[in-house]
Chains A and B, each alone.
Chain A
């Protein structure tokens, strides 16, 4: 894994750059991947989220400093039968969020496997974030914060405990990824006009939203 903690490049050269990144969500089924994305993209939460078939595609744009980052999010299905799909999506991805359920130790184990697989198979520059979801159910917790944090540090992962239900840390995790992603030329699509109004720009920092 490349060293991602190096000093960030100053990217104030262009007034408004648009970077497009492919992001993939991985994790055991029913850990809340779809809920996390839904919260991030639409600001919604459904108590009974249908399980995803195959993979779902969503986009969301965030502003980081003077750069507009457009996420193309592939929300993969966690069910065993769809696991063969995952490589297709993480192969070209610049970022991945591996999600586990803080109330379920097994999902954390599964998350570790995903991280390993990503480190082995995905692009070497991929930015990986570990998200412990369902943080609102702290009373049923079975994965300790420290344990996960230690693991994340060891593997140089971004780490946050999130809750799609309360929106805790949801935007923050995406924003953290956006910040960490290299926004130099190779990701800037030169043919895209620098026309921010054309984009449905949504500043993620919607404080106080829910």
Chain B
């Protein structure tokens, strides 16, 4: 299981590093030493997850002694014989997760034990390599080896304060430790021997060590202090004497460096950058990338502005990056995080030897970070201010998982930042930012993240891909496990760890795992485990088995294992077959599937399955029996064709079934389905679409079958060609159509076509079972389609067909026969027959349309029109026909008999027609008409165009007779009427309104008024309810003629009449006519009536009301008028108040002003004398007021 351990021979050393690794693959973890294995990287050596449970347990019951059975597992190949694994109790953590969280229990308990003596203090800093070094608040350094055993403990001078930074060199042989008061110690990692003591004055005096780091170069280490300066420590050994020197690289006065991270290349010696020392530093405002070797040089800077209370975070990782061409490079990528944003920068060596750095992408998060470390080349582990760990997929920017770390109690390194041990001599910015520094307590090592807690050391790692699947399976979450493994298989998985090698190798690896998962799943299903929902599980398993080609598993293990209910299995297999994913099924299972489908009546599914599955898998006896019984004809045909190379059985066996379905010419629903299927089968086999490589054979077989004179085992009295006959009877048209379609295939030989056509014609003509129109339709199709070209058809057949069609005794409807005849004619089939004969036949059969067509061919258009008139179905459409017809056909309407005919049909439309096509003939025609005909004729003309006065007058006169109700409208809208004859006629007819209109038009208003008044009076007397409308007409007439009419003869009689009616409403209407001087009328009224005042009460009241209204109106108008005047005045006053510049010279004479001047608004001024005699209102210069 070890990923990077020695157990993985191919990848144990840097030399075997395969630069062709996939992007997901990981770098080997840094290790060069001959140490057998690595504490942190060997899963076996870590405390198991059970410990986490124990830990929880401890955690919940504080005060208890830590349990003695410290789990510590020796690594593979190790001879360590310490306490064996004792954890036996199983505890299920929710391990679907990607992350595994374990506690280094042995380390933790030793730390705790040490702390109890009060001489050691609590942990304050940690470094991780092949060893774990932990520094404490009392300046003690404890070193643990890979088996979590304490290797040594070094107690430094307590005066130096706590350990604030600690670092291991790449091969874990040296430890550098920095203290709060500024001292730095170098220890031998083996025996804690102090190799070098670097005093506090080597760097900025009286500052705490914040970071101390080894670089690739064994003679170079880096240090940063709480003053924000960075120093380069040269470690030398001259003649066996160890010495050191310290050089300031970056001074804190130019910005305080708070984060420091050298790029370590020792595990990639082939990388072009190897040998150089590159360091990323970050101040509170800037990220700086410098190279220290081969020469000191600034490479890159980037501004990093963010909230002052957040620290910049740096982390390096090698990532395989696809460059434009297909080659790939493996370059270091620096992740720089601050507050809620992470930036990624690629550092690469250009051909010119320059080191370049360019941004890749950035990720914005919803939380503020305190730590950011790479775990794999695609994932980073982030810790936010709430001490929650987030696992982020860099490429998709997707959070994969989060984990609460509050129980870790992470150690904050704020002491160094605040300079607590040196009297707080740090800048405010440093102290504020360092509040949440965890630089020394969170480290990544390979794919693991180590966290230093107050009492414990925690490891968070990404599980191996296979382990993730296994853990799901352990929890009986088979479906999830399967899904996850399919994700890996299809390369969709995120944070995939431990999967490496070429794509094929990986695929193979994962496939094995998926299959293993699948097998386990099947085992569980077969075992009938409680943990598996059988109903959901079976389809999933079946689907995956098919997808991965594991049919053995499916058809042996699962099939045999499923004891009782196989429904789900069948359903899943069935849908796989229908989807075409599965064609080979063991016959035994297929047999059962078919039986299952049969018993559950899933006929259509059954039919589809039979067609899809390999024919060798089918129990033919079973399948054919079911298909025949249930009429699954498609499946039958499929089996015949595929299994037996039998292309004639569909014809021999199925056409007789079809024949039985046709009863008295009516086809049952079942028969229609079968018939259509057969037509499709015949068409496609004729056009070579059936039988794949045996298409020609299939075609011959089908043709032979179709053309067989008699069916198998036929009775003696069978009529010949039973198959074609049945198909023709089934659906002549569709059969012919399908044949025509297949005839278009060039590979079908002419002989075959001819043979089929001959048989069809023979069948159609000799028997009486086919209707005459069908026969002619067949002839027509054969003749007209391009397919028929080159086919011989006996001309005699056509004349026979025509004779049958024109025979009155034929059972077919007249119309059907006629249309058949027409089709024959238009298709050109009858070109060989004499026109006159045809005409004769058509006439005798009363086929007027045929006659018309024949005449049209001959060009005798008059005859065509006659034929149309004779044809009752065409007669109504004669007008539209004539409009569009040939000119000589149009001429024909002047012929007396035709004219009379169409006139009798519709005189109005005739009028239309004449206006449109021959207006010159109208006068001649009109003289021949009766009065009524004339009227309608004129009406038709009128609709088409305007009439002249003569015709109009005539029309109105006639209208008074035929349609008196319509006259009024016509008279109102048309001005060109001779008045005298019209008035005469309308008076005769008693059309008062018309007369009134005409009289008014002639100027006799009084006459018109009298006419209407008399009508009103009679209406009132008769109690008609039209009185109101009439009154209105009268009032409007009286108003129109106000000047001409004498009020004594107009208004007075009207009012009197209305008074009699005693309708207050009507009176009110009269009174509301504003321009009436009713007072005079009232006087007149008073004189001429002898009634009491009461009778006139309504009238008088009305007058009062009107008077009041008018007064109000007058007042309102006056008000408006005054307001308008006022407004004008106001604006005039305002304008007058505006001052203007007075010129010094007169614009007229250019002489200066002396006493009187005339000034205009435009600023021009004149002597009064100068403009005297001229218009004084306007300026001379610019013509303004």
A145 at interface (Cβ–Cβ under 8 A)? no
**A158 at the B interface (CB under 8 A):** no
Q: How far is the CB of B313 from chain A (nearest CB, A)?
A: 53
A53–B643 CA distance with the chains assembled, in angstroms = 12
What sequence of 0s and 1s flags, for each residue 192-210 of chain A, a beta carbon within 8 Å of any chain B beta carbon?
1101001100000000000
Q: Contacting B560 at CB < 8 Å: which of A57, A88, A192?
A: A192
Of all chain B residues, the one with the shortest Cβ separation from A53 is B624
Residue in A54, A89, A191, A193 whose beta carbon sits within 8 Å of that of B624 in the complex: A54
B763 to chain A, nearest CB (A): 27
Complex Cα distance, B636 from A80, in Å, reads 19
Instruction: Provide the bound-state CA to CA distance between A20 and B605, in Å.
Output: 30
Contact among B552, B588, B619, B623 for A191, CB-based, below 8 A? B552
Which residue from A72, A82, A191, A193 sits with its C-beta under 8 Å from B587? A72
Contacts of A53 in B (CB 8 A): 620-621, 624-625
Residues of A within 8 A of B639 (CB): 54
| A56 x B619 contact (CB < 8 A) | yes
Q: Which residues of B contact A82 (CB under 8 A)?
A: 644
Q: Which residues of chain B come closer than 8 Å to A59, judged between CB atoms?
A: 588
Question: What interface size band does chain B fall in?
Answer: 20 to 34
Closest chain B residue, CB of each to CB of A76: B620
Please tell me if the beta carbons of A84 and B616 are within 8 angstroms of each other in the complex.
no
Q: Within 8 Å CB of B622, what residues of A?
A: 56-57
A52 CB within 8 Å of chain B:
yes
Cα A75 to Cα B622 in complex, Å, equals 12
Let me know if B557 is at the binding interface, CB within 8 A. yes
The main secondary structure of chain B at its interface with chain A is helix
Contacts of A195 in B (CB 8 A): 560
Residues of B within 8 A of A192 (CB): 556-557, 560
A3 to B552, CA, bound (A): 32
Min CB–CB distance A123 → chain B (angstroms):
15
Q: How far is A87 from B65 in the complex, measured between Cα atoms in Å?
A: 81
Contact of A85 among B552, B556, B619, B644 (CB under 8 A): B644
- Complex Cα distance, B625 from A52, in Å, reads 10
CB of A30 closer than 8 Å to a CB of B? no
CA distance A199 to B588 in the complex (A): 13
The answer to whether A52 touches B621 (Cβ under 8 A) is yes
| Assembled-state Cα–Cα distance A57/B589 (Å) | 11
CB distance from B194 to the nearest CB of A (A): 66
Closest chain A CB from B556 CB (angstroms): 5
Given contacts A72-B588, A191-B557, A198-B560, are A81 and B621 in contact (CB under 8 A)? no
Residue of B nearest to A59 (CB): B588
Per-residue contact bits, chain B 612-639, to A (CB 8 Å; 1 contact, 0 not): 0001101111111100000000000001
Nearest CB on B from A116, distance (A)? 22
Per the bound structure, the CA–CA distance linking A99 and B942 in Å amounts to 101
The chain B residue sitting closest to A198, CB to CB, is B560
> Which A residues, 56 to 88, have Cβ-Cβ distances below 8 Å to chain B?
56-57, 59, 72, 74-75, 77, 81-82, 84-85, 88
Residues of B within 8 A of A143 (CB): none
Residues of A118-144 whose CB lies within 8 A of B: none
List chain A residues, Cβ under 8 A from B553: 191
Inter-chain CA distance A198–B561, complex, in Å, is 8
CA distance A57 to B618 in the complex (A): 8
Residues of A near B618 (CB, < 8 A) are: 57
Kindly state whether residue A55 has any CB partner on chain B within 8 Å. yes
Q: Does B933 contact A (CB under 8 A)?
A: no
Q: Which residue of B lies closest to A83 (CB)?
A: B644
Nearest CB on A from B587, distance (A): 5
B587 touches A57 (CB 8 A): yes
How many Å lie between the Cα of A171 and that of B953 in the bound state? Answer: 118
- Within B597-617, which residues are at the interface with A (CB < 8 Å)? 615-616
Residues B644 and A81 in contact, CB atoms below 8 Å apart:
yes
Chain B's nearest CB lies how many Å from the CB of A62? 16
Query: CB distance A54 to B620 under 8 Å?
Result: yes
B384 on the interface (CB 8 Å rule)? no
Q: Which A164-210 residues sit within 8 Å CB-CB of chain B? A: 189, 191-193, 195, 198-199
Q: Once the chains are docked, how many angstroms separate the CA of A14 from the CA of B615?
A: 35
Verify if B1033 is at the interface (C-beta below 8 Å from A): no
Closest to B616 in A: A88
| Contact status B624-A57, CB under 8 Å | no
Q: Does B645 contact A (CB under 8 A)?
A: yes
Known: A55-B621, A57-B622. A84 touches B588 (CB 8 A): no
Shortest distance between the CB of A193 and any CB in chain B (Å): 7
Give CA–CA (A72, B617) in the complex, Å: 12
B852: min CB distance to chain A, Å: 59
Of A81, A85, A189, A193, the residue contacting B620 (CB under 8 A) is: A85
Whether a CB of chain A sits under 8 angstroms from the CB of B863 is: no
Q: Given the known inter-chain contacts A193-B557, A198-B561, please indicate yes or no for A55 contacting B620, CB distance below 8 A.
A: yes
- For residue B586, give the distance in angstroms from its CB to the closest CB of chain A: 8
> Residue A54 contacts which of B560, B588, B643, B645 (CB distance < 8 angstroms)?
B643
Task: Tell me the smallest distance from the CB of B654 to a CB of chain A, in Å.
Answer: 15
Cβ–Cβ < 8 Å partners of A72 in chain B: 587-588
**Whole-angstrom CA separation of A198 from B560 in the bound complex:** 7
Complex interface bits, B544-571 against A, C-beta within 8 A gives 1, otherwise 0: 0000000011001100110000000000
Q: B645 — nearest CB in chain A belongs to which residue?
A: A84
Closest residue on chain B to residue A199 by CB atoms: B560
Residue numbers in B under 8 Å from A74 (CB-CB): 587
Can you identify 9 A-B contacts, CB atoms within 8 angstroms?
A: A54-B644, A72-B587, A77-B621, A84-B645, A85-B644, A88-B615, A191-B552, A191-B553, A192-B557
Chain B: residues with CB nearer than 8 A to chain A?
552-553, 556-557, 560-561, 587-588, 591, 615-616, 618-625, 639, 643-646
List 7 tightest A-B contacts by C-beta distance, closest first: A54-B620, A56-B621, A57-B619, A53-B624, A57-B587, A55-B620, A191-B552
Known contacts A57-B588, A57-B618, A192-B556; 20 further A-B pairs (Cβ under 8 A): A52-B621, A53-B624, A54-B644, A55-B621, A57-B587, A57-B619, A59-B588, A77-B621, A81-B644, A82-B644, A84-B645, A84-B646, A85-B620, A85-B643, A89-B616, A191-B556, A191-B557, A192-B560, A195-B560, A199-B560
